[in-house]
Structure 1
Amino acid sequence: MNILMIEDNESVSEMMQMFFLNEGWEATFKYDGKEGLDTFLTDPEKWDMITLDLNLPTMDGMEIGREIRKVSSSVPIIMLTARDSESDQVIGLEMGADDYVTKPFSPLTLIARIKALHRRSELGSEGEDDAKQSDNSFDIQTDHFKMNLKTREAYLEDKPVEGLTPKEFDLLYTMAKKPRQVFTREQLLELVWDYQYFGDERTVDAHIKKLRQKIEKVGPQVIQTVWGVGYKFDDSGVA
């Protein structure tokens, strides 16, 4: 794995470098916001993972995240932030981050988050191991909606739902493969994020909000809220 870590705390970077090397990962460290963004933009396809601090010199992490998402909707992003307010974390997720870790953090916690996010991203990009299908076939297909795991594409009324991040795609797929089944936030955290968030349900809400915004650009809303329970996929009401 090739990681770009944009982090102005050199002690944190030096600590994580040892852990990355232990995992056999290559890592590039940038301590300035704009320099970090420029490094990404020089070769966007190079990076398998980005860890992004929010408090950075010359350019805020939120702005960097938005610029990265303009170029790539697929590269996984983990925010690192000393801010402990719910609003900052939600805004960070809404700008396109797939996960966040609040400082101070255990290096092993960050390594576990990176592995979980990378594993989900790799499974999605490769498709299911036993899938014997062409890129033109679909894993999910209804009268109005279809998804292809290999190409990471989703269509509503034959219009592509564009700009889905890895987690948004996985979230949509998890619900769409069991239409009209209601998922609690806790279930979605476990199924999509691949580990327990210990009650951090706002992560799901932030991703659902962004996912709905992208769906609404092409057609009717198919992600429904079941008040007091959670969310479900239902395209039966599409005209």
Structure 2
Amino acid sequence: MGTDTPGKGLVLVVDDERPIADLVRLYLTREGFGVHTEYDGEAALAAARRMRPIAIVLDIGLPGIDGLEICRRLREEGDWTPVLFLTARDDEVDRVVGLELGGDDYITKPFSPRELVARIRTVLRRTEGPPSADKIRQVGGVRLDNEQRRVYSAGVEIALTPTEFELLARLMSRPGRVFSREELLASVWGYAALAGTRTVDVHVAQVRGKLGDASPIRTVRGVGYSVEGGAESAES
């Protein structure tokens, strides 16, 4: 394991292939991030709990506890640190399960280190500030507070990952407007790829499940998603 600590915050990088972990660390350090590296699941989980990084780059195929299980345990503990999965397997099941467990994004090996850094920056931007000029937006029984980054469904606070929050905020910014999957992928994830639209579907399903019966999200078959219901901007 190793730690470099420049000033943009600490990123935990976990990969049992040391050359890959070292390469990712090199690029992130150049961009001003602190980096701590681990090479197996048990050590990675302990480091995540101990260090509270701003983001985790997490290989799925780790010895011991795999990356999916690490993410599951952190989410169960109420830790919503952004997670970007790495996988050497071009397997949609791995990607979908990772997103269902609360992952924010994924990238398949081999990958461009520059693209990985860009993806991390995009994930972190989701935690930095409101995507809408309205501080509070309400649609039906769902209330979204951009300033505090909190969501309430039927009066109960709901825990969302940064990506889930950004997706819901995007949809609620224009009630009644239909957003295509490609548009949501570009505006929330910051990139466009035809294969990536499945990512949008999985995250929408996760948000709907968390919001429960109060969810205002509607599927527009063959197009994308919208939110419907009595909309109001409570503060601006």
Q: TM-score, normalised by structure 2?
A: 0.88
| 1:142 Cα offset (Å) | 4.5
Question: 1:114 is matched with which residue?
Answer: 120
Deviations 1:131-161 (A, max 9, x none): 7xxxxxx42134533211121111222222x
Tell me the distance in 2 between the aligned counterparts of 1:25 and 1:73.
21
CA distance in 2, matches of 1:102, 1:142: 36
1:192: Cα distance to partner? Answer: 1.0
Find the counterpart in structure 1 of residue 58 from structure 2: 52
Q: 2:103 aligns with which of 78, 97, 101?
A: 97
Offset, 1:169: 0.6
Displacement of 1:191: 1.3
Tell me whether 1:39 sits opposite 2:47 in the alignment. Answer: yes
Unaligned runs of 5+ in 1: 132-137
1:171–1:188 contact (8 Å) kept in structure 2: yes
Name the structure 2 match of 1:22: 30
Which structure features the higher share of strand residues?
A: 2
State how far apart, in whole Å, the 2-side matches of 1:7 and 1:73 are: 20
Contact 1:79–1:101 at 8 Å: present in 2 too? yes
In the alignment, is residue 139 of structure 1 matched against residue 136 of structure 2?
yes
Number of residue pairs the alignment of both structures matches: 223
Question: Hey, what does 1:175 align to over in structure 2?
Answer: 171
Query: 1:195: which partner in 2?
Result: 191
Does 1:234 find its partner at 2:231?
no
Question: Equivalent of 1:157, from 154, 159, 164?
Answer: 154
Instruction: Give the distance between the partners of 2:223 and 2:112, measured in 1 at CA.
Output: 32
Deviation at 1:198, TM superposition (A): 4.3
Aligned-CA RMSD value: 1.9
- After superposition, the C-alpha distances for 1:47-86 in whole angstroms (9 at most, x for unaligned) are 1110000000110111101111123453111000001011
Farther off after superposition, 52-61 or 138-147: 138-147
Q: Which residue of 2 aligns with 1:11?
A: 19
**Residue type at the aligned position of 1:122:** E
Give how far 1:20 is off: 1.6
Instruction: Please tell me whether the aligned partners of residues 222 and 234 of structure 1 are also in contact (alpha carbons under 8 angstroms).
Output: yes
Distance 1:96 1:167 in 2: 9
Q: Is 2:75 the counterpart of 1:63? A: no
Q: Deviations over 1:176-215 (max 9, x none)?
A: 1211111110010111112223441101011011111101
Structure 1 pair 198–229 and aligned structure 2 pair: CA distance change class (3 A): closer
Instruction: Call closer, same or farther: CA 1:65–1:90 in 2, change over 3 Å.
Output: same
SS at match of 1:155: strand
Is the 1:116–1:195 contact (alpha carbons within 8 Å) kept by the matching residues of 2? no
